[in-house]
Structure 1
Amino acid sequence: MDKYRRDDSPSGLSDIVERDGLLGTGITTRHIEAFGRKVTSTAGHLMGPSGDPATNPHYHNAMADIHRELRRPSTQRKVFALTQTTPTDLVRSKLSTSEIQSRALSSIPDDLLANIPDDSSSYSLFQGFQATQDDQEYRKSHRRGRSKGKKLLKDSEGQATPSASGDVRKERDLLNRRMELMGVRKNMCSSEILDVDNKIANLHRMRQIVLDRLAGLEMEEAELEHEITELDNKLEDLEEEEATQNQAAATPGPSGTNEESVGSEDPAMDASFMSESIYQKLPSPRSLKHRSIRKRSMPVLHEHFAPGSEIKQMQAHNDVVTAIDFDYPFGTMVTAALDDTVRVWDLNVGRCSGFLEGHNASVRCLQVEDSIVATGSMDASVRLWDLSRARSTHNDNRLNKRAGDDSIADNTAAHSTSLEDCFVFSLDAHVGEVTALHFKGNTLISGSADKTLRQWDLATGRCVQTLDVLWAAAQASSLGSDSEWRPTGRIPDASADFVGAVQCFDAALACGTADGMVRLWDLRSGQVHRSLVGHTGPVSCLQFDDVHLVTGSLDRSVRIWDLRMGSIYDAYGYDKPINSMMFDTKRIVAAAGENVVKVYDKADSHHWDCGAGVGADESAPSPAVVERVRLKDGFLIEGRRDGVVAAWTC
């Protein structure tokens, strides 16, 4: 008991350490003191002054040993290998595999960890591989032993021998084993299908992220394009001003100018002017100068959406949309309605840029080509506008007052544009409302309710020739090359336009009229080159390319003509009259009196619907009927009876 007696005195503790060692390890105080003296001596020799090798030989001996070791080839190879080792290899050499996995998972963000699919398979990869290999080996052995197994079954039916029963039992065990392997493989297939579904879901999420990124890039691209256009136009104006100033400085003024002669007018000049044609009295138009506004890179965002996806919808007008057109996807759109307004829109942001004011009645037809806009109105005039002359202004309260609707005012309130300088000139020669027009280059063709077509030269703003449709029909009837004008023997449809649609290209002109005829004119001679007979109602729309001409009529049919043969290539019908139609390289779209746009795929002859009326809830109010459609590069725009304009992918 004395051995375990408590003694807190210093002499008592030293006695215990001296007798039993430190904590029973056998190390006594004498050992600790000796170790301390050795460490102190070594550190003192190494860290002491090294000037005299005689007084401090340990430092020099240690350095000599280090230099000698470094001169060995094995040591040098180890040092070179260490310098070429990457930090990853260094970490792997110090950490275990489980610790590396733990640290890797802890450093991965939570959003990436959330996309890791769960392993729904109850079998490991090695088990699946083993099942596949065993099944392949069984198939090979089973082919060889199939005849033998059948023979064993026949033999076992006749007599029961131990060898036959053993073979049958072995065959049964093999089949059972194959059944088990089938279960493993089925489970693995199911797990693989779930993995593929998870990958597809992750890819859809990634696709949406990239689509949002693409949309942002195109928005930024449009802003940069707008800024570059403004700078280019400003530079052109500055260059014109400099050229004018230089010319004025180079030309000296006349000396001794008679002010009376300058202010007087020549009666002969005035008489000769009055004797000129009525078209000579048109005001001298400002030239249609195409400024640098052409798109440098076309938008591609709509090409990556599923067909029939809605891109944008806006309340453009308060009444029926009568005409609509745009230059390119997400570009500039111009709309007209029975509310007697013509609006210019920025499709990229869905905002109204301003009004085209000047017509005295509603606009029935219009076309947008680059920066030039042509509008045909019920006031019997055609007006030309150059949107490149527009000036950006601050908010204009007049626009809000003119809108008359909260939704339209919201679209028009911010970042409005002054379009007062966009007017170029007016073409006034028709005596009836203009119902159709088309221009290409410097040639514009207009069709009117006065039963005439007029060809205009946009360089001078004058009418080149007038084509009388009734006279051409009578001439063709007398020559026997065309059927006579046939009003079908019933009361004419008051809503049908006499000239429903026109399109020109160089000297070729196609015109669809209320008698259901499609006439192909030669503008060089002013004669009808060919007439296409087939429609039983007024032709309301048409479009042609280098091979086919597509026409839509109030007889509820769309017909595709082969221009090379002058005959019907294809035709299909709808339940209601066709009001508007257009096609591109892949599809034909039509407004057929319904709340959806009728789409026809030319490649596989597939019909489908596009628009707000597709899958609409019966309990909710039905969307308005589509009146006008335009299609370019898979970008579809529809105008409805309630003034709504929407953009879709097609």
Structure 2
Amino acid sequence: MDKHPRDDSPSGLSDIVERDGLLGTGITTRHIEAFGRKVTSTAGHLMGPSGDPSTNNHYHNAMVDLHRELRRPSTQRKVFALAQTTPTDLVRSKLSASEIQSRALSSLSDDLLANIPEDSSSYSLFQGFQATQDDQEYQKVHRRGRSKGKKLLTDQDSQQALPSAPTDLKKERDVLNRRMELMGVRKNMCSSEILEIDNKIANFHRMRQIVLDRLAGLEMEEADLEHEITEIDNKLEDMHEEAAHSQAAATPIPSEVNEDSIVSEDPAMDASFMSESIYQKLPSPRSLKHRSIRKRSMPVLHEHFAPGSEIKQMQAHNETVTAIDFDFPFGTMVTAALDDTVRVWDLNVGRCTGFLEGHNASVRCLQIEDNIVATGSMDASVKLWDLSRARSTHKDGRVNKHGGEEDAEITHSTSLEDCFVFSLDAHVDEVTALHFKGDTLISGSADKTLRHWDLATGRCVQTLDVLWAAAQASSLGNDSQWRPSGRLPDASADFVGAVQCFDAALACGTADGMVRLWDLRSGQVHRSLVGHTGPVSCLQFDDVHLVTGSLDRSIRIWDLRMGSIYDAYGYDRPITSMMFDTKRIVAAAGENVVKVYDKADGNHWDCGAGVGADGTGPGPAIVERVRIKDGFLVEGRKDGVVAAWTC
């Protein structure tokens, strides 16, 4: 039974508010019609003549009944439920789904709308879910059917089964057709997912490019700041030196000290094994200042490119590149070629900053360490240069994704006239190899000698005769006879192909294919490594291994602790240049690509402009010189082109 009677009086609202109805509030259409009649009646009484006492009583009674009903907890909960209905629910009952989507998208900005991928799927998410579920159910039923069929065949003892009824075959056909439809739905969903993943990958690539541009800009700004800091440090150092010279000039020199006593104390003058040319007094050279310009934080931009990616390419010379070296990635590079020029480059912007002029012939070998450059030439001299003395004008510009320069705004000019320090003149034939570490420099020449130089004084303190050492070792049975290369004429190979020193240790590769390890304290050969059958053209060692390249088309890795070959591999053409870092060994082997060997996994691969060339047209020139440091590879070619790569 109803709790309240059903009538048209205001008390009948108790029956209306306690039933479920429209919009989940308990109000039905019939109740709304009854409520409308009450409102019409109440409005009629309110608008009636004010003098009628029955009108005022009826209005008063109706308001009392409404207040009584509104105080009921159930009525209040239903009214609150109606008030909490979201605008989306109210609009959804009046508008279609497409119209709602159109109105919602019209309120978004253009930036947000630009990144919304197109929906290429013709099926809804529910259809894809249904297709997956139906396929799983079919597989379960199919497995059960197959297990029952196998059991039936076993029970009938391999008797031929009766053909299925047409009804069963039609059902099976309908099931298979349905499954085919579901397969189409699933294939379409997979294609949509692949497209979505491709869009995400493209967006990630764009984001990565933005961050790479930002990193290139930061490294460019960092290089400018370090350049300014270095200039200020050099000015402060010059001021301190000027003050020290002024103080020394004001101090009187004791009369008992003379020049003869100072010269006689030079230990180099007492060495009995030196040649007469060493005793000749060199013109008083300017002191070699080891002003460190090493970066406080090394560049990392090249580490985020794929191995084998080209960073920049420059037409550095018009002739074959004979020597090349750089200090650190995106730092300073020095190149030499058969056009008799030595050029200094800023790798950060790929621009030549000046020339090192002073040699009378082409430079065959060079090395840069911090701000010091050593060059060995066919004019039989070794010259030292201090790049920190260069006068340069600071330049601003924007950078591209590889750290290069774009849209330069201020002209850059550099003068390297003050960079020359002194010349080391003692060899009588062209200098073909050199290496320096600290104050020690070793030079090898076609005059078949190695010379040990003290960079602090600019004097030669020791001369090592390679032929004499080979004869001494042969007489003692510790070395083989001097054997020139049988693969190429002697004139085509440098007598001293490569040298490297560290403290008192010296490694030297010569045209007889021998690698000799010298002790600079005694001037004697400590050990000879036999293995190459052609002239040694390049070498490099670290704490454990020594890597050598030869014109016999092979690279050998030696164990310095045992003096034996640790590994070896060959190429099709002679090795003209080689260098390694912590991860890879790179070599120039007479091809238009750089040969790369991964020390970790032993893989060989090619890097350079010649990768992928079909050979139909004129391709890149042959690579002659290579250098690598921290995964940053620089190669010089026969046509004078120099290129930088990630490796």
The question of whether the paired residues in 2 share the 8 Å contact of 1:152 and 1:167 is answered with: no
Aligned position for 1:85: none
Preserved contact between residue 477 and residue 483 of structure 1 (Cα < 8 Å): yes
Please state whether the residue corresponding to 1:281 is helix, strand or coil: coil
CA distance, structure 1, for counterparts of residue 558 and residue 261 of structure 2: 54
User: Which aligned pairs between 1:431-450 and structure 2 lie closer than 5 A?
Assistant: 431-450=428-447
Provide the residue aligned with 1:148 in structure 2: 148
Match of 1:453 in 2: 450
Equivalent pair of 1:538/1:554 in contact (CA under 8 Å)? yes
Question: Which whole-Å CA distance do the structure 2 matches of 1:592 and 1:339 have between them?
Answer: 23
After superposition, residues 213-612 of structure 1 pair within 5 angstroms as: 213-241=214-242, 247=247, 278-279=278-279, 281-392=281-392, 414-488=411-485, 492-612=489-609
Shift of 1:452: 0.9
Q: How does 1:184-203 map to 2 (within 5 A)?
A: 184-203=185-204
Deviation larger for 480-489 or 360-369: 480-489
Q: CA deviation at 1:375?
A: 0.8
After alignment, is 575-584 or 147-156 more displaced? Answer: 147-156
| 8 A Cα contact 1:542 1:549, kept in partner | yes
For the Cα contact (< 8 Å) 1:279–1:462, is it kept in 2?
Answer: no
Distance 2:335 2:619 in 1: 23
> What secondary structure, in the 3-state scheme, does the structure 2 residue paired with 1:646 have?
strand
Q: What CA deviation, in whole Å up to 9, does each residue of 1:336-380 have, x standing for no partner?
A: 111221111101111111111222221110001111111111121
> Partners of 1:458 and 1:272 in 2: how far apart?
20
Contact 1:589 1:598 (C-alpha < 8 Å) held by counterparts: yes
Q: Distance in 1 between matches of 2:575 and 2:487?
A: 20
How far the C-alpha of 1:110 sits from its partner, in A, is 4.7
DSSP 3-state at the match of 1:117: coil
Match of 1:24 in 2: none
Does residue 647 in structure 1 map to residue 644 in structure 2?
yes
Q: More displaced, 324-333 or 124-133?
A: 124-133
Q: Contact 1:517–1:534 at 8 Å: present in 2 too?
A: yes
Q: Deviations over 1:563-618 (max 9, x none)?
A: 22222222222222111111122222111222222222223333322222223364
- Contact 2:487/2:534, CA 8 A, preserved across alignment: no
Instruction: Determine the C-alpha separation between the residues in 2 that align with 1:475 and 1:343.
Output: 42
Quick check: 1:446–1:502 contact (8 Å CA) kept in 2? yes
Task: Report deviation, 1:148.
Answer: 2.2
Shift of 1:497: 0.5
1:597–1:626 CA contact under 8 A, matched in 2? yes
Distance 1:153 1:110 in 2: 68
Distance of aligned partners of 1:173 and 1:557 in 2 relative to their CA distance in 1, 3 Å threshold: same
Alignment of 1:63-74 (within 5 A): none
What CA distance in whole angstroms lies between the structure 1 residues aligned with 2:546 and 2:480?
20
> Equivalent of 1:627, from 624, 629, 636?
624
Question: 8 Å contact 2:379–2:429 — kept in the other structure?
Answer: yes
Distance between the aligned counterparts of 1:563 and 1:172, measured in 2? 77
Q: Which deviations, in whole Å up to 9, do the C-alpha atoms of 1:139-160 show, x marking residues without a partner? A: 3444444322455789896557
For residues 527 and 488 of structure 1, the distance between their equivalents in structure 2, rounded to whole angstroms, comes to 24
Q: CA deviation at 1:320?
A: 1.6
The 1:499/1:108 distance shift into structure 2, 3 A limit, reads farther
Q: Verify the 8 A CA contact 1:541 1:551 in the aligned structure 2.
A: yes
Q: What's the secondary structure of 1:474's corresponding residue? A: helix
Q: 1:576 to 1:215 in 2, by over 3 A?
A: same
Aligned residue for 1:181? 182
2:123 aligns to what?
Answer: 123
Change (3 A) 1:271 1:253: closer
- Paired with 1:267 and 1:373, the residues of 2 have a C-alpha distance of 32
Structure 2 CA distance, aligned partners of 1:603 and 1:138?
51
Q: How does 1:14-25 map to 2 (within 5 A)?
A: none
**1:149–1:171 Cα contact (<8 Å) kept:** no
2:373·2:385 contact (CA, 8 Å) conserved in 1? yes
Alpha-carbon shift at residue 137 of structure 1 (Å): 3.5
Superposed CA deviations along residues 617-645 of structure 1, whole A, max 9, x for unmatched, are 64543322221111111111111122211
Distance 1:432 1:292, change over 3 A: closer
Q: Distance in 1 between matches of 2:214 and 2:88?
A: 38
Which secondary structure does the structure 1 equivalent of 2:490 belong to? coil
CA distance in 1, matches of 2:101, 2:457: 79
Q: Distance in 2 between matches of 1:375 and 1:236?
A: 26
Distance 1:283 1:308, change over 3 A: same
CA distance in structure 2 between the partners assigned to 1:508 and 1:304 by the alignment: 37
- Residues 570 and 141 (structure 1), Cα distance of their counterparts in 2 relative to 1, 3 Å cut: same
Q: 3-state DSSP class of the match of 1:136? A: helix
Letter in 1 for 2:229: I
Q: 1:243 to 1:252 in 2, by over 3 A?
A: closer
Mean CA deviation greater in 342-351 or 176-185: 176-185
Q: Which secondary structure does the structure 1 equivalent of 2:209 belong to?
A: helix
| Matched-pair contact (CA < 8 Å) for 1:501–1:513 | yes
Q: Would the alpha carbon gap of residues 181 and 317 (structure 1) be closer, same or farther in structure 2, given more than 3 Å must change?
A: same
Q: Which runs of 5+ in 2 are unaligned?
A: 1-42, 48-84, 271-277, 396-407
TM-score, with length taken from structure 2: 0.75
Contact kept, 8 Å, 1:233 with 1:292, in 2: the verdict is no
Change (3 A) 1:92 1:564: farther
**Cα–Cα, structure 1 residues 143 and 601, in superposed 2: closer, same or farther, change >3 Å?**
same
**What is the rounded CA distance, in whole Å, between the counterparts of 1:239 and 1:567 in structure 2?**
52
3-state SS, counterpart of residue 196 of structure 1: helix
Distance in 2 separating the partners of 1:394 and 1:146: 83
How far apart in 2 are the matches of 1:443 and 1:111?
A: 63
> C-alpha distance in 2, partners of 1:232/1:302?
29
**Aligned pair in 2 of structure 1 residues 305, 135: CA closer, same or farther (>3 Å)?**
same
Q: 1:424 to 1:100 in 2, by over 3 A?
A: farther
Distance 1:625 1:490 in 2: 21
Residue identity in the other structure for 1:233:
N
Alignment CA distance shift 1:179-1:465 (3 Å): same
What SS class does the counterpart of residue 576 from structure 1 fall into? coil
Distance 1:520 1:539 in 2: 14
Matching residue of 2:8: none
In structure 2, the CA distance between the partners of 1:315 and 1:99, relative to structure 1 (3 Å rule), is: same
Aligned AA for 1:447?
A: G
Taking a change above 3 Å as real, the CA distance of residues 618 and 167 of structure 1, as seen in their structure-2 partners, is closer
Q: State the number of aligned residues.
A: 544
Deviation string for 1:175-218 (max 9, x for gaps)? 54444333322222222222222222332233223222222222
Offset from partner CA, 1:218-243 (integer Å, 9 cap, x none): 22222222122222222333444455
In the TM superposition, what is the alpha-carbon distance from 1:270 to its structure 2 partner?
Answer: 11
- In 2 relative to 1, CA 545–118 (structure 1 residues): closer, same or farther, beyond 3 Å? same
Q: CA deviation at 1:111?
A: 6.1
Q: What is the root-mean-square deviation in Å for CA atoms of aligned residues?
A: 4.0
> Structure 1 residues 435 and 207, CA, compared in 2 at 3 Å: closer, same or farther?
same
Per the alignment, residue 35 of structure 2 pairs with: none
- Structure with the higher fraction of residues in helix conformation: 1
Distance 1:537 1:550 in 2: 15
